[in-house]
Structure 1
Amino acid sequence: MSLLRRIRGWIFLNDPTWSEEKRREQVLVRRLDVFFMIYAAFSSIVKWLDQNNVQNAYVSGMQEDLHLYGNELNYFTTYFNIGYTIMIPFSVYLMNDWIRPNIWLPTAELLWGIATATFAAVHTAKQVYGIRFVVGFFEGTAWPGIMVLLLSWYTPSEAGKRIAIYEASTYIGSMWAGFLQAALYRNLNGAHGLSGWRWMFVVNAIIPIAFAGYGYIGIPGYPNRPNRWAFWLRDVDVETAQLRMKRIKRSLPKGWSWKAVKSLVTGPHNWVSPLAWAFGLLGGQGTVGTRYFNLWLKSLKNADGSKRYSVEKLNLIPVASAGISVVSLLTLMSLSDRFQVQWPFILFCLLIGLTFSSVLAVWEIPDSVRFASYFIMSIPTVFADLQIAWYGTLLAHSAEERSFMVAFGVVSMYCLNAGVPLSVWPATEAPHWRIGWKYSASCWAGAIVLFFCLVWYERNSKLLRARNAIAQDDEASANDQIESDDRFDSKTPVGEEDQPVPAPVVLRE
């Protein structure tokens, strides 16, 4: 078949070489991509805008207007993380047992949008602390919720690209935040008595409030508990989704029970979950320093002592870093889907993270090398997404355990981020942190050690499953042979097969 016909068959979902089963799967995936992934991607953009807009505001006049000359920026992150970590375990539990995700997730998005709007009226750091807590509380539903849904609908050959699209949208949100803040500062600074950074919060609030309504129909629910309002999801699509998960032996959410808790704590695989948790925690901590790129840029001076970069450039230069993250994310996640393996690409990220965080830890290097190192450190930010895709393989036996690990990992990360930056990345030490990049390099080194332990587990578990499958096949073959022998022993004696068989008696009325 010609390449053109294959492309046309993929576009119109009528490739004549496909079986009916494959055609149904392709139709399901297309519908999920069109309806669900649009919501997921746009929600990711909005989440990033509302989560990190305080960084852009800080370098765009907020610091001066609110007289923030201590570690207030770190506390803004701390209060956000406290709200975020309180919500995550409740959110995952509620989504598994009590509230359908198509109700829960968009409602939370609506509420954090409303909270974001109130930033435009703040006058003290304490007011910012309170609002950041509320925004973080409701945003705690989004990332783990979407990840659980992605692993409930997409197979290992599909999930990586969709996680990449979701996370790439995060970086697009980061890029958009830079462009948006630069444009608002240039065009609206002082309009109607509001500073440019206050206008950014107003615009940021309008977007989630307007878009949240789509989530009520765009989120599909779970294959075993589909969204009744999702008009685009047919019965045949739900049936196909359930068969796909059964085929790859991936459990769907059943709700938490004592049996699920016992399996999590006492199962033969129970050492894998804390190992994967610690691995993700170390890798995640290794990337934290990239958030402070604009603080280093703000510290740079010209020979005459004037600032090297304007407010507009402080918002625009980090856009290139986000662009590198997008390219890295889409490339590595697509390759992991293509080869249906994650660990080689995770190792690539770990080695880059260790190398260039070590370079930044030295610090006494030319500015051009620091620039390059900050940009290159954007590549391993894909680490967390590869790790989530890997969970689909390592923890395929339990949907509850997967959701627990996603939630527990994120909670742990945000708990650390609530306190660690105050001592490791204090704003008063910017741009040369005494501990920061040394801490980052040590986290990458520790993650590499745990990485090889998890690779060993994955390989051995695959060998064990293969041996069990062979044993089951041998047992089935032996049973078939026994049944065949029994049938042979019960055959009619030789010669009797030629005797006429009596005609059946037909009763008539």
Structure 2
Amino acid sequence: MASLIEYLRGDPRAPGERKLIVKLDFFILTFCCLMYFLNYLDRTNLNNAYVSGMKEELAFHGNQLNQINTVFTVGYTIGQVPCNIALYYVKPRFFFPACMVIWAGLTMATAGAQRPRDIMAIRFFQAIFEASTFVGTHYILGSWYTERELGKRSGIFTASGLAGTMIGGFIQTGIHSSMNGLRGLSGWRWLFIIDGIITLPVAVYGFLLFPDTPQTTKAPYLTVDEKALAISRIPEVPERTPISWGFLKHCFSTWYWYFFVVLWIIAGESESFSSNALLALYMKAHPTNKYTVSQLNNYPTGVPAVGIVSTLFWATLTDFWGGKRYLVGYWIGFTGVVTAALLLAYPGNTSINFGMYYWAGSVYACQATFFAWANDVLRYEEDSLRAVVIASMNMGSNAINAWWSIVFYGANFAPHFTRGMWAMIATSIALAIWTVLLVRMQKRTDRRREQEGVYPSREEKEHTEPEDVGENTRIDLKA
């Protein structure tokens, strides 16, 4: 118990480290979490609007909702790697807010849509600028935090996006009941207007106070010693520009890119029950039960609520257990098989359907832990490689999801999604197998690094104090 309490408090060893971490947590996590919260709020409120009158008003038919989500996914996929490479050249405190302002404007423009194809065009460009948020933040977190600190922060960040999903339903309920018809606009149109407006102040906050990276920060709240300490906490690694033929050859000659991209492709599809809003679609198409607009928006919020609890639990636990992120892969494999099997076995049982969709929300834990896992393994590689691998993970997942959701989870398959249940069972088994393979690759790399002296063994690290931060500490603060 004492070790758990020590972990939760943090175990800084260098003088002033706890104070530095408190500052980083406040300024990095508040901005990134608010940004991701609003990102997910903008993104998932399309489903809330769909079940709150948009479908009827804009005359949606067939799989048009899935087609819009696919177009969004295509734009999101295109934006992944360029956005993370942009962070290598443009300071995050400029890049993140600029993207936020653009996607806020496009969100508000959605309120003026007259046909499904209008929303399709808006969502494509909106996705390109929203692509910076998730992978960009994981790159930033890996730049500031140590292996023992990273999982917990990644979990808090991921939970903020799930909170956006959850709260979006309640916001739509409130807007529909109080603003529907105001100034001649439907409640779902007001939803997009309000989403865009509340994004702008957060963009201003990021522009003024986000600390960039340890090597480039000019944050006024960090002292010279704290900036030096921040640099000393992260391994010094060789660096090369990510826009070169040599870098591309190096990137594709390592196992990191292939194994982590495939890991997230499989894991991303294990979230399909939740990311495709299957519970809301199940309720909307239920053969006997008829649900009100409030129920259609409120009941599915239990799914991200379970996701938040699961994310924080697994992120904290894997930190406490020394970075055993792979455990989540086994949990998700088990969860996916059991939930899909029970949904197949009891398609007419409403209670079991609700229960399984809620339980399936726990697979959201893979977002924080798997990206923290990639940051952990790539900590001793150059930043440009880490940035590209992290971005490629999400790019690969979204490239598959662009067609996966239509083939297996189209709205026309509601309420039972039989094809998707079998796909989930196969995906979950594949994830457990791939997790085993990736663990073997990581252990092989750890042994090689220890033999080469790149980093000390686990036994040595437990008894090694970090170097003092003093006059001889290298400070390389780029303009």
TM-score by length of 2: 0.88
Question: Letter of the aligned partner of 2:283 in structure 1?
Answer: L
Instruction: Tell me the CA shift for residue 87 of structure 1.
Output: 1.6
Structure 2 partner of 1:295: 281
Structure 2 partner of 1:241: 230
Structure 1's 417 and 363: CA in aligned 2 closer, same or farther, altered over 3 A?
farther
Instruction: Tell me the CA shift for residue 77 of structure 1.
Output: 0.4
| Deviation per residue, 1:235-264 (Å, 9 max, x gap) | 222211111102xx6x48653255433332
| 1:221 maps onto 2:212 in alignment | yes
Among candidates 243, 247, 250, match of residue 263 of structure 1: 250
Question: Letter of the aligned partner of 2:440 in structure 1?
Answer: W
Paired residue total: 448
Instruction: Tell me the CA shift for residue 399 of structure 1.
Output: 2.0
Q: How does 1:342-353 map to 2 (within 5 A)?
A: 342-353=325-336
Secondary structure at 2:68's aligned position in 1?
helix
Among candidates 432, 438, 445, match of residue 461 of structure 1: 445
Structure 1's 430 and 335: CA in aligned 2 closer, same or farther, altered over 3 A?
same
Structure 1 partner of 2:265: 281
Instruction: Tell me the CA shift for residue 284 of structure 1.
Output: 0.9
Among candidates 322, 333, 339, match of residue 315 of structure 2: 333
Instruction: Tell me the CA shift for residue 327 of structure 1.
Output: 0.7
Structure 2 partner of 1:477: none
| 1:410 maps onto 2:394 in alignment | yes
Among candidates 171, 177, 180, match of residue 189 of structure 1: 180
Percent of pairs identical after alignment?
A: 25
Q: How does 1:193-212 map to 2 (within 5 A)?
A: 193-212=184-203
Instruction: Tell me the CA shift for residue 384 of structure 1.
Output: 2.4
RMSD: 2.5
| Deviation per residue, 1:71-117 (Å, 9 max, x gap) | 11001101211221222221111211x21111111100011001100
Secondary structure at 2:423's aligned position in 1?
helix
For the pair shown, the structure with the greater C-alpha radius of gyration is: 1
| Deviation per residue, 1:265-299 (Å, 9 max, x gap) | 33xxx234312211211111121122221000112
| 1:85 maps onto 2:77 in alignment | yes
Structure 1 partner of 2:93: 102
Question: Letter of the aligned partner of 1:219 in structure 2?
Answer: F
Secondary structure at 1:117's aligned position in 2?
helix
Q: How does 1:38-53 map to 2 (within 5 A)?
A: 38-53=30-45
Structure 1 partner of 2:351: 368
| 1:356 maps onto 2:356 in alignment | no
Q: Distance in 2 between matches of 1:382 and 1:239?
A: 33
User: CA contact under 8 A between 2:346 and 2:352: conserved in structure 1?
Assistant: no
Instruction: Tell me the CA shift for residue 217 of structure 1.
Output: 2.8
User: CA contact under 8 A between 1:277 and 1:409: conserved in structure 2?
Assistant: yes
Instruction: Tell me the CA shift for residue 158 of structure 1.
Output: 0.7
Secondary structure at 1:431's aligned position in 2?
coil
Unaligned runs of 5+ in 2: 458-479
User: CA contact under 8 A between 1:294 and 1:318: conserved in structure 2?
Assistant: yes
Question: Letter of the aligned partner of 1:116 in structure 2?
Answer: T
Structure 1 partner of 2:303: 321
Q: Which has the higher contact order (CA 8 A, sep 6+)?
A: 2
Structure 2 partner of 1:503: none
Q: How does 1:379-458 map to 2 (within 5 A)?
A: 379-396=362-379, 397-458=381-442
Q: Distance in 1 between matches of 2:330 and 2:422?
A: 20
| Deviation per residue, 1:192-251 (Å, 9 max, x gap) | 11111111111101111222111113322121222x3x22233222211111102xx6x4
TM-score by length of 1: 0.83
Q: Distance in 2 between matches of 1:50 and 1:123?
A: 19
